[in-house]
A and B are shown apart, each in its own frame.
Chain A
Amino acid sequence: MSAAVTPAPAPAPPDAPAGVPEPHPGDRHRRRRRREGLLAVGLLAPSMLIFAVFVFYPFARNIYLSLYSTPPFPDLPSRFVGLSQYGQVLGSHSFLNSLWVTALFVVYTVPMGLVLGLLLALLAHQKLKGIRAFRTVFASPVATSVAVASVIFFTLLNPQVGLFTYWLGQQNQLSVLDNPTWALVAVSVVTVWQNLGLTFILMSAGLQAVPDELLEACEIDGAKSWARLRHVIIPLLSPTIFFAVVVGTILSLQSFGQIDLLTQGGPLDRTNLLVYNIYDQVFNQNNAGRAAVMAIALFFITLVLALIQIRLLERRVTYAS
């Protein structure tokens, strides 16, 4: 029976009116965009959630805290003081000292780290037997935690058993970490070492991107190794160097672990970096309000420095075509 009901398959005339009106092309387009929009939101949601919990909310909370004076004893209500706390904190000796110490710290660590990183990368770039082992060694600080690095250096600098103190003939004297003149330098050395792995990796990657043909052209043109470095390699590395300076500065501005483990900001606040000061305000002096103001100051300092560096260096950076 079914054969009778089945309509004979007739070729549909090309311009037959369709039962359902063709959807307007604009509608289809809009629906597709909405679907893609939903997909985008779905894909972004996990990272947005993490950012919200760990960045956006703390940031807003920090601004809120900075506007309130923290009570001297817990459980007392905090008092809204508006921007007046800013003037008070930013003009304080403690903050200005931290600012100065942090600036010195950046000056001690960033250029030195850069030069050493570049030197190591140039050394490791030679085509020698077993150079891979050296590359691994040079990059290893990257895999070392701040805590481990700090403990290693703490031991090396120990006045009784430290190897460095022995070499320097400083046994049984005051540890350099307790010496107001040298503590910051000592902490800087640890930091340079700690950041060296990253700088080395960045510089090595940059060097590998310099075409061999160019270096060979140099060789035939008669550039000696210093001229080759100065006139060809460094200009070609400048994007990498620029990146390393920005990243290195930000890393230095945010240093905390080595201070906490080695000096706790001392002696005489000579190593009291901004981040350590912030930590100290919150956890030792129970003054979240002051800490919040300093955190915001650090945020703006980092921002401004990064912007200045980008402006200044971008002009001198050669981006190879």
Chain B
Amino acid sequence: MGQVALRGVSKHYGAVEAVRAFDLEVTDQEFLVLLGPSGCGKSTVLRIIAGLEDPDRGTVVIGDRVVNDIEPKDRDIAMVFQNYALYPHMTVERNIEFPLKCRGMPKPERDGLVADAADALGLTSLLDRRPAQLSGGQRQRVALARAIVRRPEVFLMDEPLSNLDAKLRVQTRTELIELQRRLATTVVYVTHDQIEGMTMADRLAVMNEGALEQVAPPAEVYAHPASLFVARFIGSPPMNTVTGTPARFDGDLGIETSGGQIPLSPAQRQAVEASGATTVAVGMRPERLTIGTTGPLPATVAVVESLGAEHHVICRLADDQEVIVRLGTDAVVPKEGSAVRLGFGVEHLHLFDASTGDRIGP
């Protein structure tokens, strides 16, 4: 079975802690995306699973075995590298065949498996070419073929789409998901691209500075980000955040910011009080904001960016802070320079303790 577990794994390079007390369970046949900004340690986690790096502490489990002391080749994994890592002097056929050959599989058996893998990825007509004679997308497919030919339980992919052009990336995304469903294997996929994460993942594992911020299905990560970091990292345009202090207006607890006063729902008030936070970051998704004549936040429209299907209205609050509002095609777009008021449903606010970054309330 292809489950993977990391328990209390940490790794440091010199003084840098690349991975800190990392706990992650990947279930069998799951597509798990490790998402985070560059340098957050996600590739290190993948390389620890692969066995290319040894953790300083903690255990790595693949299937039912603790694999800390097992060689990469015996871990029943395959890896697709960012730059594909094809052997430049071998033909496509020999590249795909190489892992089988290394395992001493007899030639007739090898040929059958190579043909299957090549067929699955539409490479049959390219078997005699060398990597230098292939396009980026084709090389990527060869790398995938070399990975699937051994039928491993777990695939590890390190930013496999980052070297493709935008159009091909979208197409390959779909192909990868279909391939994973067809082969019924577990995939651990590393990327810094939130779109890849949102579209492909069964579950997202968002990382920052070597630690996990949140592990949840993409929709939940979007709807209920567990921390200020996740809130700002997921979503495009990113979530607006304004920081202020809890204060009472007309007797009710709200958040006083230099841009205006933000009211809260009763549940939120309770949560803020219970948290004891002294400064609170209030997050507002751009699509949850409205522009009109009423609303708690006065603002000036700075720039309107029209993208066809939507408009991004960049507003400035009284304290000069920028807030982006996303409007649909049919919405009335305000004029640049006009004074407006921004409104929102309090239920759509995300509250975080500004000092710790932890989510406040549900």
Residue positions of A touching B, CB distance < 8 A: 211, 213-214, 216-217, 219-224, 227, 231-232, 235-236, 238, 318, 320-321
A62, B78: Cα distance in complex, Å: 64
A223, B94: Cα distance in complex, Å: 14
A224, B81: Cα distance in complex, Å: 20
Residue contact A318 to B98, C-beta cutoff 8 Å: no
Which residue from chain A places its CB closest to the CB of B147 in the assembled complex? A220
Total count of chain B residues near the partner, CB < 8 A: 24
Taking a contact as CB atoms closer than 8 A, the residue among B71, B78, B88 that contacts A321 in the complex is B88
Within 8 A of A (CB), among B62-77: 71-74, 77
Contacts of B102 in A (CB 8 A): 221-224, 227
Q: How far is the CB of B75 from chain A (nearest CB, A)?
A: 8
Residue contact B88 to A217, C-beta cutoff 8 Å: no
A238, B99: Cα distance in complex, Å: 22
Answer whether residue B103 sits at the interface, using C-beta atoms and an 8 A cutoff. Answer: yes
Answer whether residue B331 sits at the interface, using C-beta atoms and an 8 A cutoff. Answer: no
Residue contact B78 to A220, C-beta cutoff 8 Å: yes
Subset of 20 A-B contacts with CB under 8 Å: A213-B82, A216-B79, A216-B81, A216-B85, A217-B79, A217-B87, A219-B71, A219-B73, A220-B50, A220-B52, A220-B72, A220-B77, A221-B73, A222-B99, A222-B103, A223-B98, A223-B102, A231-B87, A235-B87, A321-B88
Residue contact B73 to A217, C-beta cutoff 8 Å: no
Answer whether residue B210 sits at the interface, using C-beta atoms and an 8 A cutoff. Answer: no
Answer whether residue B261 sits at the interface, using C-beta atoms and an 8 A cutoff. Answer: no
Residue contact B83 to A213, C-beta cutoff 8 Å: yes
Residue contact B88 to A221, C-beta cutoff 8 Å: no
Taking a contact as CB atoms closer than 8 A, the residue among A214, A224, A236, A318 that contacts B85 in the complex is A214
Contacts of A235 in B (CB 8 A): 87, 89
Contacts of B346 in A (CB 8 A): none
A318, B102: Cα distance in complex, Å: 21
A211, B131: Cα distance in complex, Å: 15
Taking a contact as CB atoms closer than 8 A, the residue among B79, B87, B88, B131 that contacts A220 in the complex is B79
Which residue from chain B places its CB closest to the CB of A227 in the assembled complex? B102
Which residue from chain B places its CB closest to the CB of A235 in the assembled complex? B89
Contacts of A216 in B (CB 8 A): 50, 52, 79, 81, 85
A68, B88: Cα distance in complex, Å: 55
Contacts of B78 in A (CB 8 A): 220
Q: Is the interface of A mostly helix, strand, loop or mixed?
A: helix
Answer whether residue B132 sits at the interface, using C-beta atoms and an 8 A cutoff. Answer: yes
What are the 6 A-B residue pairs with the smallest beta carbon separation, nearest first? Answer: A222-B73, A321-B132, A318-B89, A221-B99, A217-B85, A222-B102
A211, B88: Cα distance in complex, Å: 11
> With A213-B85, A220-B50, A236-B88 given, is the CB distance from A321 to B99 under 8 Å?
no
Contacts of A321 in B (CB 8 A): 88, 131-132
A238, B52: Cα distance in complex, Å: 26
Residue contact B77 to A232, C-beta cutoff 8 Å: no
Other A-B contacts than A220-B51, A221-B73, A235-B87, 16 sampled, CB-CB below 8 A, are A211-B83, A214-B85, A216-B50, A217-B87, A219-B72, A220-B50, A220-B77, A220-B78, A220-B79, A221-B146, A223-B102, A227-B102, A232-B87, A235-B89, A236-B88, A321-B88
> With A222-B73, A222-B103 given, is the CB distance from A320 to B81 under 8 Å?
no
Contacts of B98 in A (CB 8 A): 221, 223, 231
Contacts of B50 in A (CB 8 A): 216, 220
Residue contact B73 to A236, C-beta cutoff 8 Å: no
Which residue from chain A places its CB closest to the CB of B50 in the assembled complex? A220
A256, B50: Cα distance in complex, Å: 54
A224, B103: Cα distance in complex, Å: 9
Contacts of B77 in A (CB 8 A): 220
Contacts of B89 in A (CB 8 A): 235-236, 238, 318, 320
> With A219-B52, A221-B146, A224-B102 given, is the CB distance from A211 to B85 under 8 Å?
yes
Contacts of B71 in A (CB 8 A): 219
Q: How far is the CB of A93 from chain B (nearest CB, A)?
A: 47
Which residue from chain A places its CB closest to the CB of B79 in the assembled complex? A220
A99, B82: Cα distance in complex, Å: 54
Contacts of A219 in B (CB 8 A): 51-52, 71-73
Residue contact B83 to A220, C-beta cutoff 8 Å: no
Contacts of A227 in B (CB 8 A): 102
Contacts of A232 in B (CB 8 A): 87
Which residue from chain B places its CB closest to the CB of A219 in the assembled complex? B72
Which residue from chain A places its CB closest to the CB of B149 in the assembled complex? A221
Which residue from chain A places its CB closest to the CB of B52 in the assembled complex? A216
Q: How far is the CB of A233 from chain B (nearest CB, A)?
A: 11
Contacts of A320 in B (CB 8 A): 88-89, 132
Report B179-204 CB contacts with A as 1/0, cut-off 8 Å.
Answer: 00000000000000000000000000
Which residue from chain B places its CB closest to the CB of A224 in the assembled complex? B102
Contacts of A211 in B (CB 8 A): 83, 85
A136, B240: Cα distance in complex, Å: 56
Residue contact A220 to B132, C-beta cutoff 8 Å: no
Which residue from chain B places its CB closest to the CB of A215 in the assembled complex? B85
Taking a contact as CB atoms closer than 8 A, the residue among A214, A222, A224, A238 that contacts B87 in the complex is A214
Contacts of B83 in A (CB 8 A): 211, 213
A219, B102: Cα distance in complex, Å: 10
A211, B81: Cα distance in complex, Å: 12
Report B43-54 CB contacts with A as 1/0, cut-off 8 Å.
Answer: 000000011100
Taking a contact as CB atoms closer than 8 A, the residue among A213, A214, A220 that contacts B73 in the complex is A220
Residue contact B88 to A318, C-beta cutoff 8 Å: yes
Q: Which of A217, A219, A223, A318 has the most CB of B within 10 A?
A: A217
